[in-house]
Chains A and B, each alone.
Chain A
Amino acid sequence: MSRISLAGAAFALALAAQFGFAPQAAMAQQAPKPGELTEAAFTAQTCALCHGTPSQTPPTMPLIYGSNADQLYTTLLDLKANRRPSTIMGRIARGFTDDQLKAVADYLARY
């Protein structure tokens, strides 16, 4: 998985240093605003429980933000079908249709 989104986080931190505000304020601006809260954008917020945010992913968890959308979608389909082994993610992926997973993958890739 690419760590491209880290550049965004570093950017936010640099901003924070420059303007003297907390990086979270910048991160907050990446969150979907009411008019942008599509189904996929909202679904992605539920993933944050375990996967954290682009700048703060827990050390035990894979980074899902900012990777290639097609690759992310393929991974999710593989998890869903148990082609890719997982402890829990297959069970979670089976809660979504392929279209829903595609939309979430596209959304997460934008980070």
Chain B
Amino acid sequence: MTHFTRRGLLGAGAAAATLLGMPNIARAAGGRVVIVGGGFGGATAARYLKLFDPSIEVTLVERDATYVTCPFSNYVLGGIRDLNSITHRRDPLRQRWGVRLVRGEARAIDVSRKSLRLADGVALPYDKLVVAPGIELKYEGVPGYSEKAADRVPHAWKAGAQTALLRRQLEAMPDGGVVIVAPPANPFRCPPGPYERVSMIAWYLKNHKPKSKILILDAKDAFSKQGLFQAGWESQYPGLITWLAGKDGGKVEEIDVANMTIKAGFGNEKAAVINLIPPQTAGRIAVDAGLTEANGWAAVDPISFASRKAADVYVIGDASIAGAMPKSGSAANSQAKVVAAHISATLNGKAPPPAVFHNTCYSLVTPDYGISVTGTYRPGPNGVAEVPNSGGVSPAQANADFRKQEALHTEGWYAGIIADALG
């Protein structure tokens, strides 16, 4: 891939504009946009800002060298993908789109001076700031759990080393052991995620340790795509999975990590492997900068995702309160496009287009059995709302070919969102 110079980029634009029959209008300097976090939210925002207006100076601050996606990390647990295949570099954002990539930890936002401070002391001035830091885990939300305890009882709710650890534990456990998966109460990152995870662990156990069982100890009484998941489990993994709702004693009250025992409403349960998914808040920078409400998430204007707390600051992705939209990669991607349109229009003195949002979450029950939930959303008086009589989940009644097609589209969706955010 050729490395861009500023001149190369502008030259390319001029040539293409002329040849594609568009007016070749000289553009005024665009302004400076700084983005915190290079996940699905931040990376998409960077890419679309450059797409809509290449003259905007876009700086993306990210602490990690690579992006290990949470989407498809459940397939690493199921043994149908490896970590390498879900690990991505952000270089194309620089090489193809001219985004300035800064590796570092954002520490503080000076809203009055419009400047972002990094851990190494560097200050990045901005005209507009996009905050997309994802989530922070609230370990203390489950008595007995801690960041240190996660070395023994993984959450694997941020993909990478935690995913690898949980996979090793599944490989090491004896046939006939019990695996506990304990999802948190709403709201949390990826509502169908824990149940897709259960499906993928079941896939591994069915094929390698068929005497084993999975127990879901849930804080909730209902979950995303519940009917589809439960029907899928019954047909694909009969007798392997037990789900205990919060109201039936499923809510975890305490964990004894040393003895691998969970205390829940119904009593105590010892397990060979425990996957505890703790409650969450917006990423620390959003909390520290005062962008969040008492509930730990950042309130935004549903039309633009502008922060309710600070001028010229936008919060997107998992960290935001997005009304009816779930905390998903698709949602973060879609919110990022709305913000990119809003910022590029505003910086150019134009009216932004009306916001429309999209979400799709695919899940695999088996490698050949996919299910989905999708929705179209628009801003409403009480936040982002789903368009009535649209979207929804896959049909309850469908043949194996239909489920297989959705499994194929699951792969297509992943290729698509990686290209749309990082390509």
Q: Which of B22, B334, B423 contacts A29 (CB 8 A)?
A: B22
Q: Which of B53, B337, B423 contacts A46 (CB 8 A)?
A: B337
User: Contacts of A50 on B, CB cut-off 8 Å?
Assistant: 360, 409, 412-413, 416
User: Contacts of B50 on A, CB cut-off 8 Å?
Assistant: 28
Task: Provide the bound-state CA to CA distance between A37 and B350, in Å.
Answer: 9
Contact call A39/B409, Cβ cutoff below 8 A: no
Residue in A closest to B421 when the chains form the complex, CB atoms: A49
Contact call A15/B19, Cβ cutoff below 8 A: yes
Tell me, rounded to whole Å, the shortest Cβ–Cβ distance linking A89 to chain B. 9
Interface residue ranges of B18-40 to A (CB < 8 Å): 19-20, 22
Interface residue ranges of A69-106 to B (CB < 8 Å): 87-88, 91-92, 94-96
Contact call B345/A25, Cβ cutoff below 8 A: no
Tell me, rounded to whole Å, the shortest Cβ–Cβ distance linking B188 to chain A. 22
User: Contacts of B141 on A, CB cut-off 8 Å?
Assistant: none
Contact call A92/B419, Cβ cutoff below 8 A: no
Contact call A58/B53, Cβ cutoff below 8 A: no
Interface residue ranges of A1-52 to B (CB < 8 Å): 8, 11-12, 15, 19-22, 24-26, 28-35, 37-39, 41-43, 45-46, 48-52
Q: Does B79 contact A (CB under 8 A)?
A: no
User: Contacts of B13 on A, CB cut-off 8 Å?
Assistant: 25, 28-29
Contact call B20/A29, Cβ cutoff below 8 A: yes
Residue in A closest to B9 when the chains form the complex, CB atoms: A25
Q: Which of B17, B392, B416 contacts A51 (CB 8 A)?
A: B416
Task: Provide the bound-state CA to CA distance between A27 and B19, in Å.
Answer: 12
User: Contacts of B350 on A, CB cut-off 8 Å?
Assistant: 34-35, 37
Quick one: given A39-B354, A49-B416, A58-B416, are A26 and B391 in contact (CB under 8 Å)?
A: no
Contact call B17/A21, Cβ cutoff below 8 A: no
Residue in B closest to A16 when the chains form the complex, CB atoms: B12
User: Contacts of B352 on A, CB cut-off 8 Å?
Assistant: 37
User: Contacts of B423 on A, CB cut-off 8 Å?
Assistant: 56
Tell me, rounded to whole Å, the shortest Cβ–Cβ distance linking B396 to chain A. 14
Contact call A34/B330, Cβ cutoff below 8 A: no
User: Contacts of A43 on B, CB cut-off 8 Å?
Assistant: 356
Residue in B closest to A51 when the chains form the complex, CB atoms: B416
Quick one: given A21-B12, A37-B352, are A28 and B54 in contact (CB under 8 Å)?
A: yes
Interface string of B3-23 (1 = CB under 8 A from A): 010001101110111011010
Interface residue ranges of B180-195 to A (CB < 8 Å): none
Q: Which of A25, A37, A41 contacts B96 (CB 8 A)?
A: A25
Residue in A closest to B50 when the chains form the complex, CB atoms: A28
User: Contacts of A25 on B, CB cut-off 8 Å?
Assistant: 4, 8-9, 12-13, 16, 96
Contact call A28/B51, Cβ cutoff below 8 A: yes
User: Contacts of B95 on A, CB cut-off 8 Å?
Assistant: 22
Q: Does B406 contact A (CB under 8 A)?
A: yes
User: Contacts of B411 on A, CB cut-off 8 Å?
Assistant: 60
User: Contacts of B52 on A, CB cut-off 8 Å?
Assistant: 31-34, 37
Interface residue ranges of B300-342 to A (CB < 8 Å): 330, 333-334, 337, 341
Give B contacts to A, CB under 8 Å: 1-2, 4, 8-9, 11-13, 15-17, 19-20, 22, 48, 50-54, 95-97, 330, 333-334, 337, 341, 344-345, 347-348, 350, 352-354, 356-358, 360, 372, 374-376, 387, 389-392, 394, 402, 405-406, 408-409, 411-413, 415-417, 419-420, 423
12 CB contacts below 8 A, A to B, read A11-B19, A19-B11, A26-B15, A29-B17, A39-B356, A46-B356, A46-B358, A49-B358, A50-B360, A52-B419, A61-B416, A88-B409
